[in-house]
Structure 1
């Protein structure tokens, strides 16, 4: 695996703690970083993003080897972690800092994301329209260290949060 082959993907789907593990456990994934993107300030803090004044959303930046795991596969995992019909947040997390967004890095990623969204809408899996935005990538700022790999460092709290927020039940009901 050559570092020149590596690509980045950025997905926002509510609480970034819950967005790391589904990608982190896949082959060809080099890193999954929790952070903030899509806003108008530089290097925001968690408290600033939660205040809904920076325009940022919690997101994950995935560095991956596309020869092992494709962007298309990443997008498919993304859909299965979110409620793509809820533009006002995800599960128990409300507000624009928790909105669902696919941030594309290039035209190929944009086309793949748009086609995947169209296919999901046509599947009629959801009764409501698919409202997840697909936007150009913006500067990504890693979150504070204590947010990184939260599911590994705090497995009990992570599990309680994932279940208590309604995310786990929604995913199970919708995708299994």
Structure 2
């Protein structure tokens, strides 16, 4: 497809970052993986040990004629706790930090503007600390992590609720 673009978002466990985007018109593919670090082709075990500098993230390939980058960023905010720089929900540490990784100047501007709007909205009592960083190489995660919410739906649902993510989203964004 000639008009494909990419977006990369980190918002805690990558299992929980696929489903919210997956069924939207214009989404071509979503890959769970790792980015932002210094180790080439890291494994899940290496990343979760915290020695690679990588963050769990999703790479979304999309058609900008059907869904805009701005729309993707707005959906992203509704999946994360943007006030928690130390991880997301039950997942703690740098490999779970919230980051919008931009691939070009347009994405950077959109992300920064959206972040300012969220900060000014008064939706959160704490500061919005999600980082906006230039994208580094993205490495796909192991196959068993791909589409985890489909492959292991019961476990995924328990994890989403048990981690506190589902409750946080309902409290701050509603259903």
Please confirm whether the aligned pair reaches a TM-score higher than 0.5, indicating the same fold.
yes
Name 1:162's counterpart in structure 2: 160
User: 2:150 matched to 1:152?
Assistant: yes
Aligned length: 174
Name 2:171's counterpart in structure 1: 173
Q: TM-score, normalised by structure 1?
A: 0.98
Q: Give, in angstroms, the shift of residue 4 of structure 1.
A: 2.0
Q: Give, in angstroms, the shift of residue 25 of structure 1.
A: 1.3
Name 1:51's counterpart in structure 2: 49
Off by >2 Å, runs of 4+ in structure 1: none
Q: Give, in angstroms, the shift of residue 30 of structure 1.
A: 0.2
Is there any run of 5+ residues in structure 2 with no aligned partner, and where? none
Name 1:123's counterpart in structure 2: 121
> 2:67 and 2:25 mapped to 1: Cα distance?
7
> 1:132 and 1:108 mapped to 2: Cα distance?
18
Counterparts in 2 of 1:1-176, with a 5 A limit? 3-176=1-174
Is there any run of 5+ residues in structure 1 with no aligned partner, and where? none
